[in-house]
Amino acid sequence: MRTMMISRRTMLAGTAATATVLAAPAIHAAEPKVLRYLGTAVNEGDDISKKCLADTGIKIEYVTATTDDVTKRVITQPNSFDVLDTEYFSLKKLIPSGKIQALDARKIKEFNNITPVFTKGELPSGKKIGGQGTAPWKVLYLEGAKSTKFSATPTEFVTLIPTVYNADTLGIRPDLIKRPITSWAELLNPEFKGKAAILNIPSIGIMDAAMVVEATGRYKYADKGNMTKPEIDLTMKVMTEAKKAGQFRAFWKDFNESVNLMASGETVIQSMWSPAVTKVRSQGVPCVFQPLKEGYRSWASGFCVSKGATGAKLDWAYEFVNWFLSGWAGAYLNRQGYYSAVLSTAKANMAAYEWAYWMEGKPAAQDIKGPDGGLLEKAGATRDGGSYEDRMGNVACWNAVMDENDYMVRKWNEFIAA
């Protein structure tokens, strides 16, 4: 009896919903399509929101915070955003908290065209890539629509639709170092005493440290992105020794800090992000995003949707994600030196010479311009690290949240105090 009543009520609700859909044009006129987009400043470009408004009529309202604050906000104020732009590694905190909802893969038009880097952990050519850390394919699927458990095998319930990713390495000042740099071990080379820097985000900083420890041959980790307590101790010991010896000039947290340290010559070798290297270069200072033989530390981000987004909001969220993957935004990201999740649509939106430079590692046939039209590289230049295959194919590990995160954070405080 009770169940019957409920189903009757649901049916009534369903009828009401159909009526709403039928009346859609009137409602569209009354209610503007607005999505609140929570993320870091790096991905929140005006160009993208303007183009999105022109193409889909969806107005994007950016809510900007730092990487850590974005996560904090999702946990503490889950109703303050609709779409969330975040990285895969934070899912290990966000999914168990139950603050974001699974997306239906069948509603994402280009889902099957998303690069296999995310879905299978391999390049389009079939080459397997490194999966240490919180690799996207480990946290891409959920067991069910309401589940908070990651599924090891593909399901239709997706946690985060990828949009952008890259392979990170060390940035160097070739004019001040004056010799080839080929290994992560150089970060702790006493030759650069007082002129090195690392990232001051513990979960990422310790990964760079692990790349260095492995490169020096002191230890080989089973998984750099998920260390045991003794491994954390060892890594921090190596870093503490270096810190005490005065190896580091500074630790940086902010994009602009990293640009300034490098451009002013305070540091000559440091962990860095690709667009920061471009920015140093655009100031006329030589700077190289140096490929290293041990490989890259990779990261990937994309869109989640808040649990609070329902009805029309949810439809707009899908529309927005679909628009984002449809090519224009992908080409925009590729021109910034990142990679887009759906390669085919991005390629269709780029000139052949641009694709050859950014993705195939070929010398630029003509001057390379950034998304804002500013000159990035003169004709003849090639991209640091070469092609997509060369860069993404050499990924060694992914940004991660470790099981021993709590212990790691305490050890990081100890490292700072040393």
Interface contacts to another protein, rule CB under 8 A: 68, 71-72, 75, 92-94, 96-97, 194, 197, 200, 202, 243, 248-254, 256-257, 260, 264-266, 401, 405-406, 409-410, 412-414, 416-418
Quote the least distance from Cβ 338 to another protein, whole Å.
Answer: 24
φ, ψ of residue 67 in degrees (nearest 5): -50, -50
Quote the least distance from Cβ 236 to another protein, whole Å.
Answer: 11
Quote the least distance from Cβ 134 to another protein, whole Å.
Answer: 12
Quote the least distance from Cβ 80 to another protein, whole Å.
Answer: 16
Quote the least distance from Cβ 120 to another protein, whole Å.
Answer: 27
Nearer to another protein, 172 or 401 (CB): 401
Quote the least distance from Cβ 72 to another protein, whole Å.
Answer: 6
**What is the amino acid identity at position 23?**
A
Nearer to another protein, 88 or 358 (CB): 88
Neighbours of 282 (CB within 10 A): 15
Quote the least distance from Cβ 62 to another protein, whole Å.
Answer: 19
The two structure tokens encoding residue 17: 């919903």
Q: In Å, what is the CA distance from 108 to each residue of 61, 89, 122, 280, 393? A: 22, 22, 21, 37, 26
Nearer to another protein, 47 or 254 (CB): 254
* Dist. CA 353–CA 360, nearest whole Å: 10
Helix (H, G, I), strand (E, B) or coil at 12: helix
Nearer to another protein, 230 or 311 (CB): 230
DSSP H or E segment with residue 230: helix 229-244
Question: CB–CB of 198/187 below 8 Å?
Answer: yes
Helix (H, G, I), strand (E, B) or coil at 120: coil
Nearer to another protein, 124 or 265 (CB): 265
Quote the least distance from Cβ 169 to another protein, whole Å.
Answer: 21
Quote the least distance from Cβ 133 to another protein, whole Å.
Answer: 16
Nearer to another protein, 92 or 362 (CB): 92
Neighbours of 47 (CB within 10 A): 12
The two structure tokens encoding residue 226: 């998920």
Give DSSP secondary structure letters for 269-325. Answer: EEE--HHHHHHHHHTT---EEE--TT-EEEEEEEEEEETT--HHHHHHHHHHHHHHT
User: What does DSSP say about strands 157-158 and 103-104: parallel, antiparallel, or unpaired?
Assistant: antiparallel
Nearer to another protein, 357 or 412 (CB): 412
Q: In Å, what is the CA distance from 395 to each residue of 32, 232, 293? A: 43, 21, 10
Give DSSP secondary structure letters for 235-273. Answer: HHHHHHHHHHTT-EEEEE-SHHHHHHHHHTTS-SEEE--
Nearer to another protein, 63 or 292 (CB): 63
Nearer to another protein, 266 or 377 (CB): 266
